[in-house]
Amino acid sequence: TQSIRIGIVGYGNLGRGVETAIQKNPDMSLVGVFTRRAPDQLDTVDAATPVFSVADLNDFQDKIDVLILCGGSKDDLPKQTPEYAALFNTVDSFDTHAKIPEFYAAVDAAAAPAKKTALISVGWDPGLFSLNRLYAEAVLPDGETYTFWGKGLSQGHSDAVRRVEGVKAGVQYTLPSEKAMAEVRTGSRPTLATRDKHTRECYVVLEEGADAAVVEQAIKTMPNYFDEYETTVHFIDEDTLQREHQNMPHGGFVIRSGNTRPEHNQVIEYGLQLGDNPGFTSSVLVAYARAAYRMNQQGQYGAKTVFDVAPGLLSIKSPEQLRKEML
């Protein structure tokens, strides 16, 4: 059968990860990488796949089955997903949690009339963690759910830091509160504010002549990313960033403790330990690209989230094979 033909938009950590992940999925092929960089900058995209400008995408409508959008959530995807969802089936990792409802509406307005399928906010959080919070809350209505991330590098927050004026490069680490995690594990169902669960640490390389105090303030007060957290900003030079901050480990867990009878406490836990956040996230995007293709074939048009995707559609195995392997 014909392979599922994939296009990548945006060649950063995720773009590179999708290029690798496709090779582990024999039912898929990679048509090209599409970048916003100027024609004389295409050689800065060190991809093993043919590189094109996003301006060329129109010519590929009959050559690509699913476009995987690897831009940043802060500034790129709010523009790119609605634009491309009108032309292609798309999958993206949009993770500005507070803005997902409005993003969903904008993408649906583009994809539905075009009879395209646009899977939004795919990854691990939002994504696999969202799914596990849903399973836990549906199964244990009487309970409390907690999510902890890290210690690790958040790509969404690192992308957001890099977009601040005066920042040349940067990364953000998320640290869970040991105290909060211990309290949750006692099953005491504590009430925890956002500020009680995580702190955030940024490492920033300033542009020449940028004002550190202004940059620090812009990061700490950034809505939807930092303003609800105790945040520390460290200023370092480029060499230090290259030497000490190239790895992108991350992870975390979703935990729900609940009761079926008062005397029976039940605990559900789902966890991830990621050696490489973008590599893992890209692998999730690719599995959902398979589902987007199939959902479009089934006539499921418009914007969808992971809640709308039947799990079997993610698998390269046939429904019969999956049933055989159910135990």
Ligand X SMILES: N[C@@H](C[C@H]1CC(C(=O)O)=NO1)C(=O)O
Contact positions vs ligand NDP (CB under 6 A): 10-15, 35-37, 44, 70-73, 76, 93, 95, 123-127, 155-156, 159, 277-278, 281
Nearer to ligand NDP by Cβ, of 32 and 71: the residue is 71
Q: Which residues make up the interface to ligand X (CB under 6 A)?
A: 95, 123-125, 149-150, 154-157, 174, 250, 277
Residue with tokens 């930092």, as numbered in its chain: 226
Residue 72 interacting entry, from ligand X, ligand NDP, none, C-beta within 5 to 8 Å by type:
ligand NDP
Q: Look-up: residue for tokens 């059968």?
A: 1
82 binds, among ligand X, ligand NDP, none (CB under 5 to 8 A by kind): none
Q: Which is nearer to ligand NDP, 7 or 156 (CB)?
A: 156
Q: Least distance (Å) from ligand NDP to the CB of residue 73?
A: 3
Q: Which of 167, 151, 175, 162 lies closest to 248 in space, CA to CA?
A: 151
Give which of ligand X, ligand NDP, none residue 133 binds (C-beta under 5 to 8 Å, depending on kind): none
The count of other CB atoms within 10 Å of the CB of residue 58 is 8
Residue 18, token pair as written in the block: 């999708």
36 contact, one of ligand NDP, ligand X, none, CB 5-8 Å limit per kind: ligand NDP
First to last CA, the chain: 28
Q: Which of residues 110 and 272 has its CB atom nearest to ligand NDP in the complex?
A: 272
To which H or E segment does residue 91 belong? strand 89-92
* Range list of β-strands (E), 150-229: 152-153, 167-176, 198-206
Min dist. Cβ of residue 72 to ligand NDP (A)? 4
Give the whole-angstrom CA distance, residue 295 versus residue 57: 22
